[in-house]
Each structure stands twice: as structure tokens, then as C-alpha cells.
Amino acid sequence: MVIKKKTKKKALTKRVVVKPIEKKIETRKTKPFGVKVIATYYIIVAAINILLGLIMCVFSKKASNIIISRGASIPDITLFSPKLVVIIGLVLILFGLIGLLLGRGLWNLKKWARMAIMILALIAFFGSLINIIAQFELSAIVGIVIYGFIAGYLIFSKEVKAVFK
């Protein structure tokens, strides 16, 4: 006799966990064109400051002689020693590095960079305004236009406010 064994096969079932599909909402901020222009302006001016600072440091003796020879009618121009030229060059390099930091921060839409540039632009704007009142120099008008635009745009533009919220 043949005995049939009944074997129970365990039903292999997979539990499928259904997760709700989450749509990733991109909150990526797009840079307004004006912010790109201002950040680029700060980076270019910073690069020029660094370059001029390096030139002054490397060629301090020659720069000192040029300054003294060109400013013969200015009293105390002989105080422009090579050491003073190096110090001025180092200050230019420092300002250039700060400008690079601010320009890059604004490019990356950092709030601190926007605030710092707004403050610096307002200081430069009012400095140019005082310069026009005191001496009426043409360069002061250019400063008023540039820094007035920068400060006004970063402070009052709704697009900029929305991006930096």
C-alpha cells in the first residue's frame, strides 16, 4: 500500500507595503537678474582690489617713487615710503577678500551677504552724497547712481525679498 503524504505548502506571500507617493517640491530659489549683476560687480571689484594690492606689495619701492614724483606739489608727499605702500596694498587685498566673500555670499543667496551689501551700499551712497555737497566731484555722481541702485534694489525689490525670505 502506498500512503500519500499530504504536505502543506506554505503559501509564500509577500507583504507589500504601499507608501504614499510624495512629490518632492523643489524649493530651489532662482536668482533674480539684479542679484547676479550685483554679485558679479562685487566679485570683479574685489578681484581688481586684490590685483592692485598685490602689485603695490610686490613693487612697493617703484610705486613709492612714482607717487612721490607725481605728487611733487603735495605737501608731505615724501612720507610715502615703500612700507606705507605695502600697508596700503595689504589693506586693498583685505578689502578684496571681503568683497569676494560678499559677492559669493550674495550669489549663493545668503541673507547675511544681502544685509552686509545693503549696509555698505548705503554707507557708500551717503558718502558720495556728502562728497557732492562738499566738492561736487563727477565720480561722486557715479557712486550715487551705482550704490543707490544696489541699496534700493536689495531693500525694496519684492522679488529679492521673496528670494531671501
Residue range 128-157, pLDDT digits in tens: 888 888 887 777 889 899 999 999 999 999
Residues in Cβ contact with 118 at an 8 Å cutoff, skipping those fewer than 6 apart? 150, 151, 154, 155
Helix ranges (H only) for 7-157 are 33-58, 60-70, 82-107, 111-135, 138-156
Could you tell me the three cell numbers for 144? 550715487
Q: What band does 119 get if pLDDT is binned at 50, 70 and 90? A: very high
Q: What is the pLDDT of residue 82?
A: 76
Q: Is the pLDDT of residue 73 over 90?
A: no
What is the SS3 assignment for 69? helix
Residues in Cβ contact with 2 at an 8 Å cutoff, skipping those fewer than 6 apart? none
Q: What band does 25 get if pLDDT is binned at 50, 70 and 90? A: very low
Q: Is the pLDDT of residue 112 over 90?
A: yes
Stated pTM of the model? 0.72
Residue 157 identity: S
Q: How far apart are CA 93 and CA 128, in angstroms?
A: 23
Q: Is the pLDDT of residue 23 over 60?
A: no
Q: Is the pLDDT of residue 77 over 60?
A: no
- For a pLDDT cut of 90, what percent of the chain falls above it? 48
Give the Cβ contact number of residue 150 at 10 Å.
22
> 128, exposed or middle or buried, with CB in 10 Å at 0-12, 13-18, 19+?
buried
Could you tell me the three cell numbers for 143? 557712486
Q: What is the pLDDT of residue 136?
A: 76
Q: What is the pLDDT of residue 102?
A: 96
Helix (H) or strand (E) holding 160: helix 158-163
Overall average pLDDT of the 89-113 stretch? 95
